[in-house]
Amino acid sequence: MAMVDKMRVVSLDAGRKYFSLEQLKNIVDMLADNGYTHLHLLVGNDGLRFILNDMRLDVAGTVYESEAVQEAIKVGNVTYYDDPNGNTLTEAEMDELLVYMGERDIELIPAVNTPGHMDAILEAMKHLGIEAPNYVYHDPDSGESTVSKRTVDLKNDRAVAFTKALVELYATYFEGKVAFFNMGLDEYANDAIPNWMPGWKNLQKCGEYADFVAYTNDLAYLLKQHGLRPIAFNDGLYFDYVIDQGTFDSNIVIAYWTAGWEDYEVASSHYFSERGHDILNTNDSWYYVIGREDKESGWYNLEQGLDGIEQAPFDQVLKDEDEAVPTLGSMIAAWCDDPDVPYIEPHLKHWLETFAQKNNQ
C-alpha cells in the first residue's frame, strides 16, 4: 500500500476528559488542514462520555430502562472524575459531529474500551444493582485481595453480559456511519496487581486467559454483525505468545502501540501479521499525554512525543523482528491520564502538525 493511500489517524482520549462539540470540531479542522484521514475518538476510556437517546438494555432477561442507565453512567463519570467542563456528549452532538466530519472529509473511529479501563461503567453497574462487577486479584503469597477499579470480572456473567449489551448499543448507533470500531482490550487489571505484574500473565497462570479470548472474539463477532471492523490494542492478544488457551479472530485489526517492558512480554507485530491480522501502527514513541508539557512533567510528555516524531518514521512498527510489517497506516495518540489538567489547544495543534509535516510525502 502506497504511503499516500494509508490511514493517517489522530487518537483523542475523550473518555477520561470531556471535550465539547466545539472543541472536537476544532480538532477535526486541524486534522483536515494537515492531511489526516481519521479521528479515533475514545468515548469510553476510564470514563464513558457519550450517551445515546435510548440506553435501554435487556441483559439476560433483566431490563434496565434508558433513563436509569443514562443516570448510572453520569454517576459513574462523576465517581471517576467530576469534570467541570461537562459529563457526556449527547446523541444530537455526535450526529452533528459526524455531519461536520463528513464535510471535512475526516472519518470517525469510535472506541469504547473494555474489559479494562471501565471505571465509570463499573460504577454504573453497581448503581444499577449489579453485584461485584469488578475483577479482584487474590495474592497467592499474602492471601490479600485487591479490587481493580477499572476492570470487569470476566467470571461475573451478568457484568460481562451487561458490558456486551452496552457495546452493542454503540455498535448499533455507529452501524452504517463508520467502518471501524475499537474494542480497546488493553492493560487488564494492571491497577490491582502489585509490582506491575501484568494482568494477562495472571490470567494465564490461573487458566482464565481463555475467558479473555472468548470475550474478545464475542465482541469482534458482535461488531462484524453490525458491519464494523474490530480494532484492539496489541498488548493483551497472544500475550507471551500463549495460544493453548485459545486463538483470536484474525479479522481484528491490531493497534500496535507497545513493545512491552520488563515482564510485560507482548507478541511481536510480525507475529500478528503472520497470523493474518492487519496492523494499525500506533507507535507509542509519538504519544502525548495532555497536561504533560515538558520533560519534567512525566512520561509521554509533549517534548518526548515531539522527539519521538523526529526519530520514528511513519512506517516504523515496534517489535517487527527485523521484518517489514505491512500496515493500514499510522495513528498518533493524545491521552488524558491526568483529566484535571487543562487542555492546551495550541500544543495539540503543534504536535499533530509536526507529525504531518515530518511525514508529508
Q: Which domain holds residue 68?
A: 3-358
pLDDT digits (tens, 9 = 90+) for 205-243: 999 999 999 999 999 999 999 999 999 999 999 999 999
Mean pLDDT of the chain: 97
Place of cell 498518533: 332
pLDDT digits (tens, 9 = 90+) for 43-64: 999 999 999 999 999 999 999 9
Check: CB of residue 71 under 8 Å from CB of residue 81: no
Q: Indicate the pLDDT class of residue 308, thresholds 50, 70 and 90.
A: very high
CA R_g for the chain? 19
Residue 1 pLDDT exceeds 90: no
In this prediction, residue 3 carries a pLDDT of 58
Residue 2 pLDDT exceeds 60: no
The CA distance from 310 to 279, in Å, is 22
Strands 288-289 and 47-48: unpaired
Question: What value does the mean pLDDT take over residues 245-261?
Answer: 98
- Helix ranges (H only) for 175-268 are 199-205, 209-225
pLDDT digits (tens, 9 = 90+) for 276-303: 999 999 999 999 999 999 999 999 999 9
Record the pTM: 0.98
pLDDT digits (tens, 9 = 90+) for 114-170: 999 999 999 999 999 999 999 999 988 888 999 999 999 999 999 999 999 999 999
The CA distance from 63 to 70, in Å, is 14
CATH number of the domain enclosing 163:
3.20.20.80
Beta bridge partner(s), residue 115: none
In this prediction, residue 194 carries a pLDDT of 79
3-state DSSP of 204-226: HHCCCHHHHHHHHHHHHHHHHHC
Residue 131: phi, psi to the nearest 5?
Answer: -90, 140
The Cα-based distances of 6 to 2, 221, 258, 280 in angstroms read 7, 25, 21, 10
Residue 4 pLDDT exceeds 90: no
CB-count burial class (<10 Å; 0-12, 13-18, 19+) for 53 = exposed
Check: CB of residue 253 under 8 Å from CB of residue 331: no
Share of the chain above pLDDT 70, in %: 98
Tally of structural domains, the chain = 1
Residue 312 pLDDT exceeds 80: yes
